[in-house]
Structure 1
Amino acid sequence: MLHSIAFIIPFGDSVRPFLHRLRGVKIGKNVWISKFVYIDDNHPECVEIGDNSTIGLRTTIFTHTYFGKRQKHNPNKVVIGKNVYVGPHCLILPNVTIGDNSVIKGGTVVTRNVPPNTLYGMPNAEPLATVTVPLTYEHGYEEFVKGLRPIRKKNNNQKDKN
């Protein structure tokens, strides 16, 4: 119930952190938790967020990977250090530590530890393939995949010659 309320209620610098603390999340001082943030509801006690950190809109933090009926499995910790900024729409997976003063680019999937003082995230999006069969109800996924035509990147030497 507390998680559901914290998911949508205003006051990301006071009420949301307070409710997550009641759930068992270890949260430092001056933490901002944006709306629609999902913090593992099975094991909130395995999440730590350091002082002066920000968790961006629609971020998800998981501490376990079991599915369906609960298995005998110990959850893993997720530790977010002090002065960390996690951009919107990030996914933080189990057994991850994000070092102090780091910034996680919006939309990043964090699967490994991030050292302190690091800007972490994928390169900017770019075209991957040309779509020749649209992904709609008229065409199945397999047909869509067969219709993809990879876009070949030019290496730096070819760019210089053109």
Structure 2
Amino acid sequence: MRKNLAGVRNRLLQVVALYAPGGDSTRVRLHRLRGVEIGEDTWIGFDTLIEPSYPHRVVIGRRVAVGMRVLILAHFAHHGRNRESSEGTMDDRVSVRIEDDAFIGPGVMIMPNVTIGAGAVVAAGSVVTRSVAPLTMVQGNPAKPIARCGIPLGLDTPIKEFYRRLTPIEPPAE
């Protein structure tokens, strides 16, 4: 019964967080109450869904910007969720880690078992199925590296300076 009530509480907090005002205050606090680990000075956009069932499996670093309508998934299914493994139970493992100073564009989908490196940029509408290296810009479905970032795209970074320091990554020859 207690576990069911915790699940209901988690879902209610998730629904309120989706539409609450305050991307750097109320939404962040609500997700922290759910169990998501979120660093200081992080901004979460409107209508962003962060792992409904296992919020404690998501870690978001400091000074991260998460755009509106982002979907962060930390698991695919409930099969074997209580099985022990060499890494502990499924409930104990972090599945999605977004490191400090990362920028997640609007409409991005982040799949389980990935790390978005420090200062990385995920372009709008991308689907992240693999980990992203630090200071790398990715785009597409599936997301692929398109540029190296000279500086992180922070909320106070001049956009012209960010663009000036981008270095394109040549796609592999086919």
Q: Does TM, scored on the shorter chain, surpass 0.5?
A: yes
Q: CA deviation at 1:28?
A: 0.1
CA drift of 1:41 comes to 1.1
Residue 14 of structure 2 corresponds to which residue in structure 1? 3
Match of 2:166 in 1: none
Alignment of 1:23-102 (within 5 A): 23-66=34-77, 70-73=78-81, 74=90, 77-102=95-120
Measure how far apart 1:37 and its partner are.
Answer: 0.2
- Work out the CA distance in 1 between the residues paired with 2:27 and 2:75: 22
Secondary structure at the aligned position of 1:120 is classed as strand
Larger Rg: 1
Structure 2 distance, partners of 1:71, 1:97, is 23
Within the alignment, does 1:106 sit opposite 2:117 as a pair? no
The aligned counterpart of 2:29 is 18
What are the ranges of 5 or more consecutive residues in structure 1 without an aligned counterpart? 124-162
**Identical-residue share of aligned pairs (%):** 39
Q: Which runs of 4+ in 1 moved over 4 A?
A: none
Q: How far 1:95 moved relative to its partner?
A: 0.2
Corresponding letter in the other structure for 1:5: V
Question: In the aligned structure 2, how far is the partner of 1:116 from the partner of 1:71?
Answer: 32
Distance in 2 separating the partners of 1:64 and 1:112: 14
Q: Which runs of 5+ in 2 are unaligned?
A: 1-11, 82-89, 142-174
Q: Deviations over 1:79-137 (max 9, x none)?
A: 000000000000000000000001000000000000000011129xxxxxxxxxxxxxx
Inter-partner Cα distance in structure 2 for 1:87 and 1:33: 11
Output the amino acid matched with 2:131: N
